[in-house]
Chain A
Amino acid sequence: MASNTIYPARRVITMNPGFPFAKAVAVRGGRVVGVGTVEELARFGDHTVDERFADKVILPGFIEAHTHVMAGGLWQFPYVGYFDRVDPDGKTWARSRTIDEVVDRLVEIESEMDDPTEPMIAWGLDPIYMPDERLVARHLDRVSEERPIFVFHASGHLATVNSAMMRRCEINERTPTPGVMKDDTGRPNGELQEPAAMGLATIALGKLMAAIGSDQAKWGYANEARNTGQTLVADLGTTPIHLDEQIAAWEAVVDDPSYPARVLLAGSPLFGGEQDPAKLAAAAIARHAANEHDKLRFGIIKLILDGSIQGFTARIGWPYYFDPPAGSPENGLWLLPPDAVADIVTTHHAAGLTVHCHCNGDQAAQVFIDAVETALERHPRWNHRHTVQHSQLTTTAQYRKMAALGMCANIFSNHIFHWGDQHRDITVGPERAARMNACATALREGVSISIHSDSPITPMGHLHTAWCAVNRRTASGEVLGPDERISVMEALTAITIGAAYQLNLDHEMGSIESGKLADFAILDDDPLVVDPLQLKDIGVWGTMVGGVAHQAAPRS
């Protein structure tokens, strides 16, 4: 019989309310034998004591229920965003706060590239933070007159290219495509808005797509998870699960014992997924039955109802946006016809699947909540755990109804820090910004929650996300909506058992208990002891996934 390994720790925070704290955890065969003192655990029999985490704090591995695998692929290209960001190898990419800083960064990268015809791609630019001047081709021409350059914006809806890219892709004053922005003389200025226009930069798009679909992306994704304490990451709808070759590629990667995370692949009709709801449901069920793997999970359906609040494309309730740019439409975009949602949800619901639906705006949330109610009337079913994803503007009344229907919320708390100032001043105004991402309201009304990063939209890292939910500090340092702050314990619950619950994995993970998987986040400090404002700064040693330790990449 295999021997138990007992890991004494400064403290084990189990997130099991019936046995919240312990001094050690024993592991065998990838599972938790038990928690207690070393002496207690020794009585389970043959064992060794491994002291390497003796000064660490062990928590259940964090579970990120809303990310995208492309987060790992984008790091094949230089980052030019407004905030410092750490890549999967532990390297910190310094922020680029002005157009000059963006150009300087790209000049530096350009000087290291050999083939002068090879296109350069950069990502993460967020013009909302550069209100005085917009990056255009003229700026990028300072980086290179010959090398085509493509700068992908943080929103994913825009890109800026240089003159060489426009020449190579024949984007010129005769290009009629809407979204190709032009200057006063009718010449394209380099900004390409929305997919039809961005798609004209074919050589960049091809390179970007190849990077996103690569094995390197899958590894980068899990390495970033490991570095920040996640042991399971949900790729929410960006892998077409009905395609065998996609699943085979994932299986080959996660089978490597050194692959440092479990991955849940949610099926979706978008991003090349199966569009017919019945076929999509069948694919998700077939994968759940045939391909479910220790480190590869299925059974979740992802739908998208609306756009983003900062892009003014979320469907929000009356009186709509606060101070939108001149000429903006009154409200945002639907990605599905509201009248079609109940039938689609019913199909997945009746098949026994759990639906996670992207609803940034409260109007979108209402359509989804009503659709779940209809599905329940048609097919009464307990324990479905259908989840409002993002849930940024969900109202108190909506949370009450969600509680009554047995729904969950995965709240986009990172928005408070990344765009909270803009939400207060521009998108929804002070009152609604104060109740955005209302974790306290959700919990008060009895809704089980998690919180998320939507990586790559904001960086993955659950201590940072918990910090956002606990402190509600914007980038400028203001506390936005203090009454929606939650306690550290509530935030830790959200990022562990709360996330596991809405992914139907709470019987296996999300707490450290006898019989559950040995998935741990191993921290340098105790989140229940440090000043809550320091939560995001706690060092992460790494993780343990199924009893296998994965040390975070050294920071550089």
Chain B
Amino acid sequence: MTDHAWAGDPMIHTPIRVTVIGGYLGAGKTTLVNHVLRSADERIAVIVNDFGDVNIDAELIESTDGGTISLTNGCICCSVVDGFTVALDTIRASSPRPERLVIEASGVAIPAHVAAYAYGPGLDLDGVITVVDAETIRRNARSEYVGDVIAHQNTATDLIVLNKVDLVDDDAIASLTAWLAEVTDAPVIPARDGRVDLSVLLGLDATDRTAVSTTPTDTSFTSRTERWHEPIDRTSFEQQIAAFPDAVVRAKGVVRFTDDPSTEAMVQVVGRRVSITAGGPWMREDSQLVIISLVEDEHTADVKADKADRPEDQVAGSTGSASVGSTGSIG
């Protein structure tokens, strides 16, 4: 995959892409953040609620300066103690400027409230990810105190990481997956210890990274690239994205539309979040879109089969192929 678009726009001040990690107390947000920091091979900034919870390996810490910890792999970790505004200013001012920011929300945060900060100057929201504890989510969802919070976290999100699947049996996973499919439209990624490939979590370019392969992840993904030589119709493209099968967790690319063929259209899809923004002047050969899908196991496949009444779900059949060539159906 020689995917220039995947590596981001070459403009000097590309906005920092922000991922918000939500989920109730104990779901494994901090574990997931630790996984991100350990796996990262590019400069990622992280804002956490509390340093005390982030057990960063001592040999990974380069320096600590008040509310900021610098890691040897270039990542920086800021606490939210002085407020989001201060933490965001610190990150924007740091050199070199990180391209990625992960914000760990508090266990009772409404994701949209935290995501609101991701629209500030020099920032752009990539997506909201809710981490769910496979062991306790059903009980918490029934709680008088936090049931409404859990419901909100499960719906106002782009991806769900179903964490701690190693702690429940297969029947429970099947039942949970079926339940989640009822309560949320977001794709569900099973995981243990928060280990999900960063290309899926943050949209990092898998081809440019090696570090992730050193951290085993439990769920397999497949990516394929679609290309079109001719400009394509915006409406039918948007319809096609809206009809992506549930297994599609991310897509990213640069597309040339018939209604504005001299401008790049930058496409970002995170779960159900679709963002199409104008980029620079069109200088490329082809439009292309990289699509990452979950390789479904038996449980999820069963559930999805029940829901698969849309003809577009046939696309899921292409998972497993590394790359699918240009399709004429969109252009």
Which A residues fall within an 8 A CB radius of B? 170, 175-179, 194-197, 199-200, 205, 272-276, 279, 315, 318, 329-331, 333-340, 363, 367
Contacts A199-B84, A279-B52, A338-B108 supplied; 16 other A-B pairs, CB < 8 Å: A175-B119, A177-B116, A177-B119, A196-B113, A196-B117, A196-B120, A197-B116, A199-B117, A272-B83, A273-B81, A337-B24, A337-B25, A337-B106, A337-B108, A339-B26, A340-B25
Provide the residues of chain A in CB contact with B82, threshold 8 Å. 272
Contact across chains for A329 and B152 when beta carbons are under 8 A apart: yes
Whether A334 contacts B108 in the complex (CB less than 8 A), given A175-B119, A179-B116, A196-B117, comes out as yes
- By size class, the interface of chain B is 20 to 34
CA distance A335 to B25 in the complex (A): 12
Contact across chains for B110 and A333 when beta carbons are under 8 A apart: yes
CB-based closest 7 A-B pairs = A196-B116, A334-B108, A337-B25, A337-B107, A177-B119, A176-B119, A178-B116
CA distance A338 to B116 in the complex (A): 24
Question: Taking the nearest CB of chain A, how far is it from the CB of B112, in angstroms?
Answer: 6
**CB closest residue in chain B, given A200:** B120
Contact across chains for B145 and A199 when beta carbons are under 8 A apart: no
A339 in complex: contacting residue of B25, B51, B110, B120, CB < 8 Å: B25
CA distance A281 to B144 in the complex (A): 30
A196 in complex: contacting residue of B84, B107, B148, CB < 8 Å: B84
CB contacts under 8 Å to A, within B75-105, are 79, 81-85
**CB closest residue in chain A, given B89:** A202
B146 within 8 A of A: yes
CA distance A335 to B107 in the complex (A): 9
Provide the residues of chain A in CB contact with B119, threshold 8 Å. 175-178, 196
Provide the residues of chain A in CB contact with B16, threshold 8 Å. none
Contact across chains for B24 and A329 when beta carbons are under 8 A apart: no
Contact across chains for B107 and A340 when beta carbons are under 8 A apart: yes
Whether A338 contacts B84 in the complex (CB less than 8 A), given A175-B119, A275-B50, comes out as no
Q: List 13 A-B contacts (CB under 8 A).
A: A177-B119, A178-B112, A195-B84, A199-B85, A275-B49, A275-B50, A276-B50, A329-B148, A335-B108, A338-B145, A338-B146, A339-B26, A363-B145
Among B49, B107, B145, the most chain A Cβ lie within 10 Å of the Cβ of: B145
Among B51, B107, B110, the most chain A Cβ lie within 10 Å of the Cβ of: B107
B115 within 8 A of A: yes
Question: Taking the nearest CB of chain B, how far is it from the CB of A380, in angstroms?
Answer: 26
Contact across chains for A272 and B81 when beta carbons are under 8 A apart: yes
CA distance A318 to B51 in the complex (A): 36
CA distance A178 to B112 in the complex (A): 8
Provide the residues of chain B in CB contact with A177, threshold 8 Å. 116, 119-120
CB contacts under 8 Å to A, within B108-154, are 108, 110, 112-113, 115-117, 119-121, 144-146, 148-149, 152
Contact across chains for B79 and A275 when beta carbons are under 8 A apart: yes
Question: Taking the nearest CB of chain B, how far is it from the CB of A556, in angstroms?
Answer: 37
Provide the residues of chain A in CB contact with B24, threshold 8 Å. 337
Contact across chains for B148 and A331 when beta carbons are under 8 A apart: yes
Question: Taking the nearest CB of chain B, how far is it from the CB of A346, in angstroms?
Answer: 16
Contact across chains for B121 and A194 when beta carbons are under 8 A apart: no
CA distance A175 to B119 in the complex (A): 8
Question: Taking the nearest CB of chain B, how far is it from the CB of A357, in angstroms?
Answer: 15
Contact across chains for B106 and A276 when beta carbons are under 8 A apart: no
CA distance A337 to B108 in the complex (A): 5
Contact across chains for A330 and B113 when beta carbons are under 8 A apart: no
Provide the residues of chain A in CB contact with B107, threshold 8 Å. 337, 340
Whether A318 contacts B120 in the complex (CB less than 8 A), given A196-B84, A276-B50, A337-B108, comes out as no
Provide the residues of chain B in CB contact with A335, threshold 8 Å. 108
Contact across chains for B52 and A276 when beta carbons are under 8 A apart: yes
CA distance A315 to B146 in the complex (A): 10
CA distance A367 to B149 in the complex (A): 15
Report whether over half of chain B's contact residues are helix, strand or loop; otherwise say mixed: loop
CA distance A273 to B83 in the complex (A): 10
CA distance A318 to B120 in the complex (A): 37
Provide the residues of chain B in CB contact with A199, threshold 8 Å. 84-85, 117, 120
CA distance A342 to B248 in the complex (A): 41
Question: Taking the nearest CB of chain A, how far is it from the CB of B183, in angstroms?
Answer: 15
Contact across chains for B84 and A315 when beta carbons are under 8 A apart: no
Question: Taking the nearest CB of chain A, how far is it from the CB of B101, in angstroms?
Answer: 14
**CB closest residue in chain B, given A339:** B25
Question: Taking the nearest CB of chain A, how far is it from the CB of B244, in angstroms?
Answer: 23
Provide the residues of chain A in CB contact with B113, threshold 8 Å. 194, 196
Provide the residues of chain B in CB contact with A194, threshold 8 Å. 113, 116
CB contacts under 8 Å to A, within B24-39, are 24-26
Question: Taking the nearest CB of chain B, how far is it from the CB of A552, in angstroms?
Answer: 36
CA distance A337 to B106 in the complex (A): 8
A170 in complex: contacting residue of B84, B106, B121, CB < 8 Å: B121
Provide the residues of chain A in CB contact with B145, threshold 8 Å. 315, 334, 338, 363, 367
Contact across chains for A336 and B108 when beta carbons are under 8 A apart: yes
Provide the residues of chain A in CB contact with B116, threshold 8 Å. 177-179, 194, 196-197
Among B51, B84, B146, the most chain A Cβ lie within 10 Å of the Cβ of: B146
Among A194, A197, A339, A340, the most chain B Cβ lie within 10 Å of the Cβ of: A339
Provide the residues of chain B in CB contact with A340, threshold 8 Å. 25, 107
CA distance A200 to B85 in the complex (A): 9
Question: Taking the nearest CB of chain A, how far is it from the CB of B118, in angstroms?
Answer: 9
CA distance A196 to B110 in the complex (A): 13
CA distance A176 to B118 in the complex (A): 9
CA distance A363 to B145 in the complex (A): 7
CA distance A315 to B113 in the complex (A): 17
Question: Taking the nearest CB of chain A, how far is it from the CB of B31, in angstroms?
Answer: 16
Contact across chains for A318 and B50 when beta carbons are under 8 A apart: no
Provide the residues of chain B in CB contact with A272, threshold 8 Å. 81-83
CA distance A275 to B81 in the complex (A): 7
Provide the residues of chain A in CB contact with B152, threshold 8 Å. 329
CA distance A339 to B152 in the complex (A): 18
CA distance A196 to B20 in the complex (A): 14
Provide the residues of chain A in CB contact with B115, threshold 8 Å. 178
Provide the residues of chain B in CB contact with A338, threshold 8 Å. 108, 145-146
Provide the residues of chain B in CB contact with A329, threshold 8 Å. 148, 152
Provide the residues of chain B in CB contact with A333, threshold 8 Å. 108, 110
Contact across chains for B84 and A337 when beta carbons are under 8 A apart: no
Provide the residues of chain A in CB contact with B26, threshold 8 Å. 339
Among A177, A329, A367, the most chain B Cβ lie within 10 Å of the Cβ of: A177
Question: Taking the nearest CB of chain B, how far is it from the CB of A310, in angstroms?
Answer: 19
Provide the residues of chain B in CB contact with A315, threshold 8 Å. 145
**CB closest residue in chain B, given A334:** B108
Provide the residues of chain B in CB contact with A318, threshold 8 Å. 144
**CB closest residue in chain A, given B146:** A338
CA distance A177 to B85 in the complex (A): 13
CA distance A197 to B119 in the complex (A): 9
CA distance A471 to B85 in the complex (A): 43
Contact across chains for B120 and A330 when beta carbons are under 8 A apart: no
Question: Taking the nearest CB of chain A, how far is it from the CB of B188, in angstroms?
Answer: 22
Question: Taking the nearest CB of chain B, how far is it from the CB of A343, in angstroms?
Answer: 10
CA distance A195 to B146 in the complex (A): 23
Provide the residues of chain A in CB contact with B112, threshold 8 Å. 178
CA distance A116 to B46 in the complex (A): 40
Provide the residues of chain A in CB contact with B83, threshold 8 Å. 195, 272
CA distance A276 to B49 in the complex (A): 10
Among A275, A333, A336, the most chain B Cβ lie within 10 Å of the Cβ of: A275
CB contacts under 8 Å to A, within B1-60, are 24-26, 49-52
**CB closest residue in chain B, given A272:** B82
**CB closest residue in chain B, given A170:** B121
Question: Taking the nearest CB of chain B, how far is it from the CB of A334, in angstroms?
Answer: 4
CA distance A276 to B53 in the complex (A): 9
CA distance A322 to B179 in the complex (A): 31
